[in-house]
Amino acid sequence: MTGPDAGLPNGPSLKPLLSVLKGERLSPPPLWLMRQAGRYLPEYRELRARKGGFLELVYDSAAAAEVTLQPLRRFGFDGAILFSDILIVPYAMGQDLWFEAGEGPRLAPVLAETPLDALKPDFSRFEAVYETVRQVRAALDPHVTFLGFAGSPWTIATYMVAGQGSKDQGAARRLAYSQPERFAAIIDAIIDATVVYLSGQIEAGVEAIQLFDSWAGSLAPLQFERWVIEPNRRIVEKLKAIHPAIPLIGFPKGAAEKLADYAAGTGVDAVGVDESVDPHWADRALPPGLPVQGNLDPLALIAGGRAVEEAVDNIRAAFAGRPHIFNLGHGILPDTPIAHVEALIRHLRQPESR
């Protein structure tokens, strides 16, 4: 087998993170951090200031590749996460995308007021991201696993319907209840675009995929089944049909007690656990042998010291009997001290932290 699906030999000595995704238990566990390429790094802030804005940075493939590689050079993580944004998918589906300073992303036209068929898809908007992947893969240390990603359909739909983020995802939830067929058509279109996008990332060189369902926790149980589990299951099924060797990590933030149903229903190869979940409960609730990822509280990392060490030891003890990738329970925060990240790595990788 050749091409990106073949990858490199995945023994623990070469690609620890990929080995864990394929079912191996390693001690210490491999490590990467969500949002590890970003605002807590001075080298990132300097480069973004020169480029003029977030989207400009994403669409400059050489700059985006540099941002992807920055935390690897500084910290020696076991995984590199592609530098991009989940809203590239609605942008390629035909919505305009921009970022308001201090307020976050905006999409237009909003689908709460505009029919889906008014959008004119342009999947060439994925090409700059694929070029970023190619450049990173060419420069990446052979021990590091390269992760691509996309937002899951429910989370993407919340932005497409409202045109921006919100505290309760109310606009999308209202539409899903009041016009489920219309909302289902939006979800279907997102699934199709996401499969195209992720397949392109894989063909360009990523070795594993993470599906971010950042707003999964806002849904009632029946809605969670319909708009989180089922759409992610379809993405997994479609991608596995094209790229059967690529592991998929599902991260349904806020899923809580629905986490086990998500794992069983979607067919993902690994599950990300957010910081609100007791790791000991997660270990009991999730299918035996399923790789897990997580789940240090990002605020504990800001606090540093004993707060981090105790949390790390608790998480490692909880997941000692299954394949485990150490990570945060959500993205690293911009005011995280770099020294605290360095201390986390030292503590995690010393044998006595078990």
What are the catalytic residues? 35, 39, 48, 85, 159
- 313: Cβ contacts below 8 Å, ≥ 6 apart: 353, 354
User: In this structure, what DSSP letter does residue 325 have?
Assistant: E
Nearest to 152, CA basis, from 80, 252, 247: 252
Nearest to 254, CA basis, from 309, 217, 292, 306: 217
Q: How far apart are the first and last CA of the chain?
A: 37
Rounded CA separation 230/154 (Å):
10
Rounded CA separation 11/14 (Å):
6
Rounded CA separation 151/86 (Å):
5
CA atoms within 13 A on the CB side of 277: 33
Do 198 and 246 touch, CB atoms closer than 8 A? no
Q: Where do runs of H (alpha helix) occur along the chain?
A: 16-21, 42-51, 54-58, 61-75, 88-92, 127-139, 153-162, 170-178, 180-204, 221-224, 230-242, 259-266, 279-285, 298-303, 306-318, 338-349
